[in-house]
Each structure stands twice: as C-alpha cells, then as structure tokens.
Structure 1
Amino acid sequence: MALAAALVPAVASVQAQAAGKVVWAVGVDADSLDPHRTTTWESWATFDLIYDSLLQFDANGKVVPNLAKSWEMSPDGKEYTFHLNAGMQCSDGTPLDATDVKYTMDRAFDSKNPSVMKAGFGPVTAVEVVDPLTVKFKLSSPFGAFLAFQGEPFASILCDSNQALGKAFGSSKAIGSGPFMVKSWVKGDRMVLVPNPHFKNYGRPVENAGPPKIDELIVRRMPEAQSRLAALSTGEVQIATPPLDDVDTVKKSAKMHLLTAKNTGSTIFFEFTTSRPPFNDERIRQAVAYGIDPDAAIDIVFGDVAQREHCTVGPGVFGNDEDWCAKQGYSYDPEKAKALLKEAGYGPDKPLEVTVMTWPDDNREKILQVFQNQLQQIGINATIELMDIGTLNARVKQENETKTGKGSFNMMGWAWYDPDILYNLWHSPGAYSGYQTPELDAMLEKTRTTLDPAQRLLAVHDAQSYLLKHAIQVPLYTPGWNWLYAVRNEVKGFKVSTFNRPIFNDVTVQ
C-alpha cells in the first residue's frame, strides 16, 4: 500500500486542495453513526463532527453553554432545567428544539435497546418538555458528572427526523446539528463529510461561528501506519496518525508538522486479577508497582511524545493532580519489590510466573516488553499476551471471575472526561468484575453524589488514594492512543481540543 500511495500523481493532490478538500487518514474506521450503539474513539470523533450537544467543553476542559444557552439545578441536585437557543436547525433544515432533546433521551433510556453509554447519563428518571425551548431532566439522586456528560459526543442530540430514516440511521445516514453532515460512507474505505449549511456555533472553542470553510472532509481508512506516512509525503492525505517510530521524520519534514493532543483524559495503567493468587495478596501488587520504572520505559519507547502518569484519572480530568498523586503511589525501588516478594514466599529459586495482557498498536507491546524485563530483574516472569481491545475486555472480566489458574494482570487504557470513570471501573460489580470492597464502594458513591466542587475534589482524592496505596490501579503513562497528528503545512486552522477532539471548523487549505 505504501508503494501505491507513493505513485499517486501530484496533480491529483493539488486539485483536491484547490477544491478545499481535506483527507484525514485513520487507522480504524468508525463502526456506527449512532451515538447509542458504540463506544469506540473513531466513532466518538465522528459524532463530534455531525452532531452537537447541550453543553460543550472549552479549550481548558470547562463545561460551557452550547445548544443550551443556560441551565438551573434544583437545590437537591435532582432536577436540571435547560434553556435552548432559539432558531436552531438540524442539517435537514428542520427545527431543533426541546422535542429533539426528549427524543434523544427517551431513545437512550429505551428499556428494550438502551444506549450502551446509558450509565454515563446518570440516574435520569424522566425528561420533560416544558416548552419548545425548555427541557427538564429529573434524577433519582444527585450525580456529580451529569453536566459534564452533556458535553460529551456520546450525549449528542439526535434530530427526531432520524426516525424517518428507519434502519439506515446509524448504518449509512444521520441527521444532526453539528458542523458537518454525511454525504457518503463506504465502510472500511472512506466517509465523506460536507459542511452543514445550517450549523451555527454556540460553544465550541473555534473562531468560525458558521459552517466549516472546507468543501469536503474525507475520513479515509488506511490501516498501515507506513502507508499513511507515505500518503502524507505525497500530499494524497493532509492529516494522519503517523507511525510512532517515525515521529522524528515528521518533525524534521519541510512538508508537515506534528500536533500533539494535550489533556486527553486518557491513561494507561496496570490492573490485577484479585480473585485468586498471587494478586489477591496486596504485597505482590505492591512488588509490581515498586519493580517497574515507567520513566525509563517511556524514555526508551516514546521519548517526549508520552508522559508519566501518576493519577488514576487522566490529564484534564477533575482530580488529576500529578504532584499529589505521586505522593500516594509508588516510586521505582527494586529492593523493596524483592523484599515484598520474599515475604510472600518468592525469590531467586522460586520466581513468580504470571501472564500480562494488553492490546497492540501505538507501541504498547514495546513498552510492555520493557516492563517485562524490569519485572524479571526482581523475580517476576511475566508472559505477554496480545489481543484486540474487545477480546481483552472480555478476557479481563473472565479472568476476574475465575478462582483458579495462573495469576494474571493487564495493561489497560481508559479515556474519560470526569472522575466518574473510577465508579464505572471499581464500584461493585465493576466494569470487569475486578477488585471490590464495601469501603471503596462507599468512597466511589461519594464521588458521584457530591455536587460541591471543593467537597467533591476531596472525595475524588480519597478514592484515588485508596486505589493507589493498595496498588489496585497502578498508573503508567499518558496518552495511550490516537494522540499524535501529522499535518501538512498547507492545512491551516486544524486543532485538537480537550479530551482529544479533532476540530475542523477553522480549517482552510492554502
């Protein structure tokens, strides 16, 4: 594929640019246009282009008005009333009002086929249309992450005219109020997006208040990283994720530059199977935490394009405080690691044999090999198993629900906009049926139901301190995937906002 990309005539690229088209090459295609049916980053990034949400995040990750120009919360935190902007339109020209919001939420909470992200909305019990520009949400209990989720692409507002599309909705067609609309989608090949002529910006961190300036945005699937780099070099594509091993090539190129997403909300970490030995013993988990040197591993594998992560929530997320988290966790101390292993009955004559799992790409397997070597030095022999992310998720849950067999742990990654991710991961029964205690459950419930920011921060710190001190979640590095963008120099105005949201509203091609 790299050879084919290199043979594309340069004139084709020039013509595409002259027409105001931008080709964004991605490794993985979106799997749905329906925000209620998928959790993949690739689909999430597409939702952000074709839909809009009640609220938005500004460039610093603060929740700001968007489709909703204002809102009020009841004193008990169980009701939120949103006031919508007047005159809003969907991409098909139909009005966008409170009935579209209710349609979206009723669909998300449909008992027969709810949104796969239903939990993210919180304990919503009803959504009522007060008048065409006012909508009220009722909750069974206070939910600290409620407003933040309303700025998520997974909470995109669907125009109720999507009902007329039938089965085509989500699979080939979609009606939203975002900056772009879908012209065509050949799954596994490319999605062609064109500006939504009715789009008006209310809360996105962009300068352009109206529809995007480019004529077309083509999201093209190119699985091979080297092919993407070759296509960038020829001008066949204008934006792409480069191979991590070729980042220096991009930095030194006169034709392109590297853009690194900041405050992505993503983090890579170790978690352990605690349903059986050896990791039901806290000393063994602590030995792993003391026995690895993430700073050295990051330097070897990533250089300056990834950073050490000390917190259990990613950068940009409420509660992420690297200095504070570093004091709660573990620093590299192989002698302490060996002492803990010896205390637990392991040593040079009896090394600990375990399995460690992760999913491939973005050099995760390379950094895991470095960790494997570091652990071997303290007496832990870890056999690496690689699998796709869907298989990994199922495997981790299966391991946690198995009481016998070889010990295992995994290098996992999550990205989220709020510390409520900790509730989803660790509150009983947990996303993966992992470590659970009543004490931790109580802490995590407090992070959810506390609304005062100062008090909620204390609750989030308590939960993080527990997870770190007991080596339940051992943070490693950030970001973990899709955070680098190689951009041709003729593309101006492309940016990546908080939580790794690619924004094309201001893009021009010169």
Structure 2
Amino acid sequence: MIAFKGLIRAVAVAGAISLSVAGAEAKGIVWARYGDIDTLDPHRATSTLSLQVWSLIYDTLLATDKDGKPVPNLAESWTSNPAGTEYTFKLHSGVKCADGSSLDANDVKYTVDRALDAANPSVTKASWGPISKVDVIDPTTVKFTLDKPFVALVPFLADSFSSIICKSNKGVEGFGTTSAVGSGPWKLVSWTKGDKIVLARNPDYQNFGKLADNKGAPYMDGLVISVVPEPQARLAALKTGEVDIAEPPLDDVEALKSSGDLKITVAENTGQNVFWEFAVHRPPFDDARARQAVGYATDAADAINLVYGDLSLPEACPVSRGVFGNDQEFCLKYRTNYDPEKAKALLKELGYGPDKPLETSMLVWTGGNRQKLAEVFQAQLAEVGIKADIEMMDIGTMNARVRQENETPTGKGSMDMMTWSWYDPDILYALWHSPGAYRGFTSPELDKMLDETRVLTEPEARKAKVQEVFKYLLENGIHIPLYTPGWEWVFAERPTVEGFHVAPFVYPVFNDVKITDKKS
C-alpha cells in the first residue's frame, strides 16, 4: 500500500490494480505496457517508454499540433532576433507545479542550466544546441542566447526531452527514482521498478497547447502504468477489466478489430524510422556497391505486408512521415528501390556470385515480430546472393554491438536493422555527423551539409539542404529506409474507455479519458 499525502493510495489485489481516494474507490485508469521506464529524470534517458511518462508528469515550453508542428504551450509566445541567436519566451502566469509552488522563468533557467551542466549534462545535451546562457528577464520572460543559429531548438522545446523540471526538485534526494515534481496533468505517487507507476490527477493543471479538448485537469482521479511483459497476459487483463488500455498481441489485432470486443488505436505520425545501416570501415560494406546491393535486394513493402499487414508503412526517406523535409516522391528518386537484377549486377562487379555469396551478419533487436520480418528479408537477400545470418538481441545490446562492429577493422561483414525516432531531421546530425552516434559512416562533405541544416533559418532553404542530405545518404546506400512502424504502438481499449488518443511522436493522452464503468 502506497500513500500520497494521506489521500490517495494504490492497492494490488489478486493481480488487479485499483485506486482509492479517502477510502472510496476512485475513478482510475490502468494502462499496461510491455516494459518499464528507465528514470523519472528527463535528462537521464532516451527511451520512448520513459518519454511517454515524462509527458504526463512534466510540461514543456511548446507543444505539437496534430501535424507535429510546434505551437505555444507554457510559453504563450516566442520571438527570435534576425540572426537566430536569441530566443525570448513569454510564459503564461499562474502556472503551478504539482507541489503547489509556482512555475516561472526561474524554473526554465534551472532546467536548461541543469541540462547543460558540464559536470553532469543531459544525455540529449546536443539537442539543446549551442545555448551559451539563459537569462530571467522577469518571472514570465526568459531569454536563451546561442553561440550560433540552431533552428532545431524550437521543435526540441515541444518534446519531452525538454520537460521543464520544477526548481523545487533541486537537491531533493531520490529525484528521478522516488521523487519527481512537474506541472503536467498527473503527479507522481510512486514508482515500483519493474512493476508499476502510480500517478494522481494534478488538480492545478492547465492545458495551454497539448492535443486534448480538456483544458484543465484530467477527468479521472488516477492513472496506474503497469508493467506486463507478456502480450497474452495484457490481452487477458483487458478482457477481464483489470486493465483499461494496453498494447495487444500483434497477431491478434485483426481479430480484435473484427470482433469489436476492444477498440484499436494505431499511432500515426510516430516519427519512427526503421532502416538498414552497415559497418562501413571494413569489407564488404566499405564499398557503396555492396550497400546498394542490399537496398536493391530488399522489398520492404512486401515484407511488412506479410508480417504487419496495414499496421506499418513503407518509408522512402531517412526521416519518417510527418517530420520536416519528408517527401516520398523526392526520396523514391534516389533510394535503392527493389530491383534484384541491379543487386546481382553490383554483386558481380564486386566478385560475388552463385558460388561465392556475400556473407554478413544481420543484427536485429527482439520483439514486435521482428524475427519474422528479419527472416523475410533474409530470404530476399538470399535470392540475389547475399547470405545474411540473423542475430537477435535486446536493443541495448544491439546499440553497443553496432558501435563495436564499426570500430572493428577486420572480420565478417555486418549490417543491422536500426530504429530511431525523432521529431526533426536533426536526428540525421546525431546519426551521421562526425564522429557519428555509432562511429559509422562519416565524411567531410556530409558534415558540411549537416552543419548547414542546423543554421538555415528560412524554411525552404533548410528543406532544400535537408533533402540534399537525404539524397547523399540514399544514393550512397548509407541509410536505407525500410518502414515506419505503426505496429509498435498499437493500443487496445475496453469499450468503456472514451476519449483516449495518441498525439504525434507516440504520446498517449489521457486528459480527455472517461471510463464509464468505474464506480465513484
């Protein structure tokens, strides 16, 4: 039993979770997910599971509209100087943190200074850009000064990586594990690692820009986020009513849609991009022709249709649909589109053939039927003379392994099916600008283009430069897009759940949720 200010508690009974307020059963939501967060501290992790929870506890200066574009939120307006080196944000007054303290420009300064702290910076420090100082002009006005223009700052301030951390967290023992105070729609009651997070309605919450019709506090009294790794266990809990919202087993989605027993929501505009990348500092993938052969041999549309049906979309660009610069027609001109005869011709040029296949490892991370997808890709590659040995591993292990492969100059070839998710093409800077996220492909020419995508303030000029980067990555077989996964974020809801939706970049929104069978 976990108490919060003597009023709210969460109780686990026979595997079910209920909420009670002052002894009476409350109106609570139970959301089951496959995994847990890394931390409650927005400066210490990058996982989507963590981001989703931060968006419930904290708020951000800006928000995103239905198309994923930045709009005002805690900051009711902002301006920049002509050079793009100063941004001034005017904040709403009267905003409260969950502990009752006021949120103002001092909290913004505290957050940014903490993120850029040289001794212990945020893991996403680079995404804050070249901020040299933050000045509090008055309680509702704060100014960021940058060493040089950085146009990706504005969209970043709408993402939960930039969550405003209330200054009252400073020096609190256990911040990020047992304590976390923000100004979001929900406040932390408790986090039991590997089990559940218990949140309570923040009665002081004001919704200035987030995608919810409800402009005040959530309708429901509490929200429990329960860790249930097994898909069938989540489905069983949905059917019995122990859980209100959960990710269903992928193989059951079509049947659930047909039966109508549960409502199905598939996240759109996820910002997620799955792609081939290669260990380029040794043969065979130090030669662009080998990389291009893999691209020509891969029929992503057919593969995802076989495994995911209509839950995923083929992706032609190095950033996902909905992200600035994405243009399917443009990217299809330069992408290595499925053409097995071209793949065979390139392999022949490299000295490979029926009696001498190109051999490589194919690194894939576990979950979401990726094993099946990898097997389809493996068969496609085999048809042109590429022998790819699948190695399945968790995502953390794969990230480390990819870097290891890039730092190894000899041995068998290596390629991997990577997934990154971001709201802006600045993700390509993180991936491919020297030294590179995984120490993979880099070049002075690419570095120069990527630098320019960060400083061009005129949208059309920036778009042109971003697409120049796309062209370079696609033509050289550096980043071969495969698909945008909606399947990874499919939600099933009980029929009694109303008002649930998923905002761009995979943020579930519970502000509008009402559950008709919850007793009060």
TM-score of Structure 1 vs Structure 2, range by shorter chain: over 0.9
Measure, in 2, the Cα distance between the counterparts of 1:267 and 1:469. 18
Secondary structure in 1 aligned to 2:248? coil
**Which AA in structure 1 matches 2:490?**
L
CA contact (8 A) 2:502 2:509 kept: yes
Residue number in structure 2 paired with 1:108: 115
Residue number in structure 2 paired with 1:82: 89
Residue 149 of structure 1, aligned match among 156, 171, 174: 156
> Quick one: structure 1 residues 9 and 187, their matched pair in 2 at CA, closer, same or farther if it must change by over 3 Å?
closer
Measure, in 1, the Cα distance between the counterparts of 2:17 and 2:435. 58
> Quick one: structure 1 residues 214 and 340, their matched pair in 2 at CA, closer, same or farther if it must change by over 3 Å?
same
After TM superposition, give the deviation of residue 327 of structure 1 in Å: 1.6
Residue 354 of structure 2, aligned match among 348, 356, 373: 348
Measure, in 2, the Cα distance between the counterparts of 1:59 and 1:473. 28
CA contact (8 A) 2:17 2:242 kept: no
Residue 386 of structure 1, aligned match among 387, 392, 409: 392
Secondary structure in 2 aligned to 1:33? coil
1:189 aligns with 2:205: no
CA contact (8 A) 1:316 1:499 kept: no
- What TM-score, normalized to structure 2? 0.94
Secondary structure in 1 aligned to 2:488? coil
Residue number in structure 2 paired with 1:233: 239
Residue number in structure 2 paired with 1:47: 54
Measure, in 2, the Cα distance between the counterparts of 1:245 and 1:234. 20
Residue number in structure 2 paired with 1:198: 204
After TM superposition, give the deviation of residue 165 of structure 1 in Å: 2.1
CA contact (8 A) 2:311 2:486 kept: no
Secondary structure in 2 aligned to 1:268? strand
- What TM-score, normalized to structure 1? 0.96
1:126 aligns with 2:133: yes
Residue 412 of structure 2, aligned match among 372, 395, 406: 406
Measure, in 2, the Cα distance between the counterparts of 1:128 and 1:364. 47
Measure, in 2, the Cα distance between the counterparts of 1:381 and 1:235. 47
Measure, in 1, the Cα distance between the counterparts of 2:286 and 2:17. 62
> Quick one: structure 1 residues 11 and 159, their matched pair in 2 at CA, closer, same or farther if it must change by over 3 Å?
closer
**Which AA in structure 2 matches 1:251?**
K
**Which AA in structure 2 matches 1:427?**
H
Residue number in structure 2 paired with 1:4: none
Measure, in 2, the Cα distance between the counterparts of 1:394 and 1:44. 21
Deviations 1:482-502 (A, max 9, x none): 311111111000010111110
Residue number in structure 2 paired with 1:269: 275
Secondary structure in 2 aligned to 1:165? coil
**RMSD over aligned Cα atoms:** 1.8
Deviations 1:283-308 (A, max 9, x none): 11111111111111011100011110
Secondary structure in 2 aligned to 1:482? helix
> Quick one: structure 1 residues 11 and 283, their matched pair in 2 at CA, closer, same or farther if it must change by over 3 Å?
closer
Measure, in 2, the Cα distance between the counterparts of 1:494 and 1:415. 22
1:486 aligns with 2:488: no
Measure, in 2, the Cα distance between the counterparts of 1:84 and 1:11. 38
Measure, in 2, the Cα distance between the counterparts of 1:69 and 1:355. 51
> Quick one: structure 1 residues 10 and 55, their matched pair in 2 at CA, closer, same or farther if it must change by over 3 Å?
closer
1:432 aligns with 2:441: no
**Which AA in structure 2 matches 1:295?**
A
- After the TM superposition, which segments of 4 or more aligned residues of structure 1 sit over 3 Å from their partners? 7-13, 15-19
Measure, in 1, the Cα distance between the counterparts of 2:514 and 2:153. 35
Deviations 1:429-488 (A, max 9, x none): 010111111111111111111111010000000000110011100000111663111111
CA contact (8 A) 1:267 1:413 kept: yes
> Quick one: structure 1 residues 485 and 82, their matched pair in 2 at CA, closer, same or farther if it must change by over 3 Å?
same
Measure, in 2, the Cα distance between the counterparts of 1:412 and 1:450. 28
Measure, in 2, the Cα distance between the counterparts of 1:263 and 1:186. 31
> Quick one: structure 1 residues 404 and 17, their matched pair in 2 at CA, closer, same or farther if it must change by over 3 Å?
farther
Residue 377 of structure 2, aligned match among 371, 376, 381: 371
Residue number in structure 2 paired with 1:249: 255
Deviations 1:32-91 (A, max 9, x none): 100001111111000000000111101111111111111110111111011111111111
Measure, in 2, the Cα distance between the counterparts of 1:257 and 1:281. 48
CA contact (8 A) 2:18 2:25 kept: no
Deviations 1:355-399 (A, max 9, x none): 010111011121111000110111110001111111111111111
CA contact (8 A) 1:8 1:236 kept: no
Measure, in 2, the Cα distance between the counterparts of 1:234 and 1:434. 48
Measure, in 2, the Cα distance between the counterparts of 1:331 and 1:355. 22
Matched residues, number: 502
After TM superposition, give the deviation of residue 215 of structure 1 in Å: 1.2
Secondary structure in 1 aligned to 2:414? strand
After TM superposition, give the deviation of residue 254 of structure 1 in Å: 3.2
1:215 aligns with 2:236: no
Residue 183 of structure 2, aligned match among 177, 194, 197: 177
Residue number in structure 1 paired with 2:142: 135
CA contact (8 A) 1:17 1:509 kept: no
Measure, in 1, the Cα distance between the counterparts of 2:58 and 2:362. 39
Measure, in 2, the Cα distance between the counterparts of 1:171 and 1:143. 33
Secondary structure in 1 aligned to 2:215? coil
Measure, in 1, the Cα distance between the counterparts of 2:226 and 2:258. 25
The correspondence of residues 294-333 of structure 1 with structure 2, limited to 5 A, is: 294-333=300-339
Return 5+ residue gaps in structure 2 as ranges.
1-12
**Which AA in structure 2 matches 1:331?**
N
Residue number in structure 2 paired with 1:415: 421
After TM superposition, give the deviation of residue 255 of structure 1 in Å: 2.6
Return 5+ residue gaps in structure 1 as ranges.
1-6
> Quick one: structure 1 residues 507 and 17, their matched pair in 2 at CA, closer, same or farther if it must change by over 3 Å?
farther
What percent of counterpart residues are identical?
A: 54
1:117 aligns with 2:124: yes
